[in-house]
Structure 1
Amino acid sequence: MTHMRERLIVGLDLQSVAEAEKAVGELGEMVAFYKIGYQLAFAGGLGFAQELVQAGKKVFLDLKLLDIDNTVARGVESVARLGVTMLTVHAYPKAMRAAVAAAEGSGLCLLGVTVLTSMDAEDLAEAGYAHDPETLVRRRAEQARDAGMGGLVCSAAEAAIVRGIVGPDMAVVTPGIRPAGAAAGDQKRVVTPGDAIRAGASHLVVARPIIGATDRQAAAQAILEEMVAADG
């Protein structure tokens, strides 16, 4: 269970730092790793990220950087100074290469975002992509590996494919995790915690099934237990 606490990332998808502090307090020692995305980052979450780091927690900043090379590089340098563990960059080759160069020596694990778990083939076609999700994920996994990224973010439905491309050492981080029977919400390519572990995911990102639970600690424990059982 202790080892799995390093692999479960709880998404603090909340409106304020006060709400996030309450959630972290309720989860206590059950959770060691938290994700901060746009919602909380733009409401004071970057300062809160530093507080979590100082409290001994790991932090995944899900900011999905994409810009001109210089801007990406300077952004990565600033994030590295916060002491967080992970940062997302959209898996465009130039952006990834700029990010990797900027993070060198910092210990920051850079994750390439492949295809959002809220998107399916129809969504990609509407956005102008010629590939289906699996084909695009494969291509971006290869590009991230070649760029020297620390890992990738993908649906657990593609985790086995990605693991086969990047090998055993890169992180494979899977959002869109839903326990059996849980509502999918706006996610389209969802997988259970156990299936994600069996598919080769190194880390699972879980937000609503824990944050939205009446007993958050019990919800986190149930997911951790499923992860442990699948890893055995």
Structure 2
Amino acid sequence: MRGRSTRLIVALDTKDTAQAVRWRHETAGHAGAVKLGLEFTYACGLDAVREAAGDSPLFLDLKLHDIPNTVASAIGSLAALRPAMLTIHASGGRAMIAAARVAVNETFPENARPLLLAVTVLTSMDAGALHETGVEGSVEAQVVRLGRLAIESGADGLVCSSHEIAPLRQALGDKPVLVVPGIRPAGSAPGDQKRVMTPAQARDAGADWIVVGRPITRASDPAAAAAAIAAELSA
């Protein structure tokens, strides 16, 4: 799917607000958004999320997963942060996803609604890990199943590994926004990620956004690392 515009989200995975702000400043010229997730939010709180994100579009990756009313109420509590993207777990089911959709529509102004993104199967999981949870099918089949459920229930897009981009595009078309973590530049250690691709491979497969953390933030020069990934995406 060459020719699709794919943009970079830098994951500010830290418990230190000042460090997150430094990373944001260093990479601002090369990233389309920043990600703040559970680690930072639990350690530092919502006011710090606002400070760390600054003027950058915020991918708020809290992966909400609870009964429908609780998820809807949580989304209402996050409205002051004005995220550009917000995650829930697709495995929460149709009613939960639909309740999240209603909460986004009712909580945010129409011109400032975040993209509601449903997480399919975590990129740290492979077929063996998935089978341990009672899912007997393949990772790909489960991702497509959850992806279809999420889009039908009101999600704007999905969080998936790069290896499931093509099957999701085949099943759901070009409209759903696909945000892809587990991206590792050539030569990078995979860390705890099991299903990975390089930035260019994810772009060519059809990703809208890629999420990169440690290969940028743990680099000796985060700005240069982010610049290299942005250049790879635009090549």
User: Quick check: TM above 0.5?
Assistant: yes
**Equivalent pairs, count:** 225
CA contact (8 A) 1:86 1:111 kept: yes
Q: Which runs of 5+ in 1 are unaligned?
A: none
CA distance in 2, matches of 1:85, 1:48: 17
Give ranges in structure 2 of 5+ residues lacking alignment: none
Listed one character per residue, the Cα deviations across residues 87-131 of structure 1 (whole Å, up to 9, x for unaligned) are 110003222111011111521111110000000110011122222
Q: Counterpart in 2 of 1:165?
A: 171
Aligned twin of 1:210: 216
Q: 1:184 aligns with which of 178, 190, 199?
A: 190
User: SS at 1:29's partner residue?
Assistant: coil
Task: Quickly say closer, same or farther: Cα 1:80–1:163, change in 2 above 3 A.
Answer: farther
Q: Superposed, which structure 2 residues align to 1:210-229 within 5 Å?
A: 210-229=216-235
1:110 alignment counterpart = 116
Structure 1 residue 163: Cα displacement: 1.9
Does structure 2 conserve the Cα–Cα contact (< 8 Å) formed by 1:52 and 1:58? no
Q: Deviations over 1:119-147 (max 9, x none)?
A: 01100111222222101001011101101
Q: Deviations over 1:184-209 (max 9, x none)?
A: 01100001100101111100000011
Q: Distance in 2 between matches of 1:214 and 1:35?
A: 20
Alignment-mate amino acid for residue 86 of structure 2 = L
**Distance in 1 of aligned mates of 2:156 and 2:78:** 15
Q: Would the aligned equivalents of 2:15 and 2:44 in 1 still touch at CA under 8 Å? A: no
**How far, CA to CA, are the matches of 2:23 and 2:154 in structure 1?**
35
Match of 1:94 in 2: 95
8 Å contact kept, 1:178–1:184: yes
- Whole-Å Cα distance in 1 between the matches of residues 219 and 46 of structure 2? 25
1:71-82 map, 5 Å: 71-82=70-81
Q: Supply the AA of the counterpart residue of 1:140.
A: L
1:52 Cα offset (Å) = 5.0
**Which secondary structure does the structure 1 equivalent of 2:170 belong to?**
helix
Partner of 1:61: 60
* Contact in 2 for aligned 1:17/1:43 (Cα 8 Å): no
Partner residue, 1:31: 31
Matches of 1:46 and 1:217, distance apart in 2:
26
Structure 1 residue runs of 4 or more that deviate by more than 4 Å after TM superposition: none
The equivalent residue for 1:139 is 145
Deviation at 1:166, TM superposition (A): 2.5
RMSD: 1.7
- Counterpart selection for 2:204 from 198, 202, 212: 198
Deviations 1:157-190 (CA, angstroms, capped at 9, x unpaired): 1111112223222210000000111100110000
Q: Aligned to 1:10, what secondary structure does the other structure show?
A: strand
Deviation per residue, 1:2-24 (Å, 9 max, x gap): x96x8210001112112112212
- Counterpart of 1:187, as a letter, is Q
Aligned partner letter, 1:87: L
SS in 2 for 1:8: strand
Q: Match of 2:103, as an amino acid?
A: A
CA distance in 2, matches of 1:81, 1:164: 36
User: What amino acid maps onto 2:168 in structure 1?
Assistant: V
1:22 corresponding residue in structure 2: 22
